[in-house]
A = this chain, B = another copy of it.
Amino acid sequence: MEDITVSAPGKVILHGEHAVVYGKVAIAASLNLRTYLLLRRSADNNISLDLPNITIKRSWTTDRIKSQVSLPLCDPNKPVGVSEELLTLLKDVAGVHQNESDTKQLAVITFLYLYCALAAHNGTVPAIDLKVVSIQPVSAGLGSSASYSVCLAASLLQLSGIISTPSGDGQWSEEERVLINSWAFFGEKILHGNPSGIDNSVSTFGGAIKFKSGKITPLRRVPKLHILLVNTGIPRSTKVLVARCRARYEKHPDIIEPVLNSIEAISHRCEEVLAKMADSPSNDQYEILEDLIDINQCHLGALQVNHPALEEIVRTAAKYNLHAKLTGAGGGGCAFILIKPDIPLKTVTDIKSEFATMKFQCWETSVGSPGVTAHCGNDDELNRLFS
């Protein structure tokens, strides 16, 4: 069998972070900083998992899996979450290492669950070497864990022949993607407890989605937008920031409710403009997107989820006539800067080197790019990534 190589994008929230908690619309888009997975049949009866980004390297004999897990687990066409019982068992199989963060352990357990449910769905236990390399920053609110789950689900479903091996553009059918997405969601549940489903949906389907009160709606037509993603490198807790916003809301409901309404209006406007831009992007539309970025960045300040480092990014962008906003929980984490097509290359080079002197990592990338994709094996860049 040939190697299976798949990739899946991360996500950025364009508008609506925090407001989404209060039932307002948010718009999320795929981020073309991708996670790549290489799955290779193994000759030595081992199942190995290699996650260099989080320095995880594990392997299990196929016999061990067969003896410890009662297979098959379920019908792979009917996605289901892990049971408490099985979770306990998989924790044991994973082997909880001292000094290892929860995230690392949960990444291993997610793999084991999807492996058992999908690769071993008919009771046979294929020996494979699986390596996942991400070019996204981990734990930066960019959905790296969802793209990990999506890659796992897609590759293991393909390995078992439950979904096809796509040719050409590497895109699975809508139906197949729905299946990938559902399994990825249950992977996310192991990693995150109670995920919204935004991250795995964006990672699977690409483009952009609208999210309101638990309902995810793909946006039909989305342009590819170039952005500069800048990481403050400042760690923060989403929980703390959501609570900070909540405290302000509860202290000043009359003042904050209109701010949330304004953010929702921004999301609506963004959706409308993106649809128009998919047909024929114009400078006017880019300028509207810039206005929305500026106004929402102010609103996120009013919700008290800004950070001096994020403000510094916004200020630096403004010097170059560029527009930036934080994305995700705020209080640190990342901001994105919209790069209009007519921005001179020099401007981008200059601001990137300015961010470098400020010790902010940054990536020139795009949003609205394709979701989970199968790659052919003879891609030099991919080979370098996995070598």
| Residues of B with C-beta under 8 A to A311 | 311, 315
| Chain A interface, >50% SS class | helix
* Chain B residues, CB < 8 A from A265: 252, 254-255, 258
A215 contacts chain B at the CB level, 8 A cutoff: no
Q: In the complex, what's the smallest C-beta–C-beta distance from A175 to chain B, in angstroms?
A: 37
**Contact size class for A?**
20 to 34
A36, chain B: closest CB distance, angstroms:
39
Interface of chain A residues 273 through 302 with chain B (CB within 8 A): 288, 291-292, 294-295, 298-299, 301-302
- Please state the number of chain copies in the assembly: 2
Contact residues in B for A266 (Cβ distance below 8 Å): 255
Q: Does the CB pair A269–B298 fall under 8 Å?
A: no
CB A14 to nearest CB in B, in angstroms, measures: 14
For residue A268, which residues in chain B have a CB less than 8 angstroms away from its CB? 254
Whether A269 lies near B295 (C-beta < 8 A) is no
Question: Does A26 sit at the interface, judged by CB under 8 A?
Answer: no
Say yes or no: is A262 at the interface (Cβ < 8 Å to chain B). Answer: yes
A269–B255 touching, CB < 8 Å: yes
**CB <8 Å contact, A302 and B308:** no
A80 smallest CB distance to B (angstroms): 42
A140 within 8 A of B: no
One digit per residue, 1 when the CB lies within 8 angstroms of any chain B CB and 0 when it does not, for chain A 241-259 equals: 0000000100110111011
A261: Cβ under 8 A from any B Cβ: yes
Residues in B with CB closer than 8 Å to A301 are: 294, 298, 301
Please indicate the chain B residues that have their CB under 8 angstroms from the CB of A308 in the complex. 315, 318
Give the B-binding residues of A (Cβ under 8 A).
248, 251-252, 254-256, 258-259, 261-262, 265-266, 268-269, 288, 291-292, 294-295, 298-299, 301-302, 304, 308, 311, 315, 318
Q: Contacts A248-B291, A252-B295, A262-B302 given; 12 further ones with Cβ under 8 A?
A: A252-B265, A255-B262, A255-B265, A255-B292, A258-B258, A258-B261, A258-B262, A258-B265, A259-B295, A295-B302, A298-B301, A311-B315
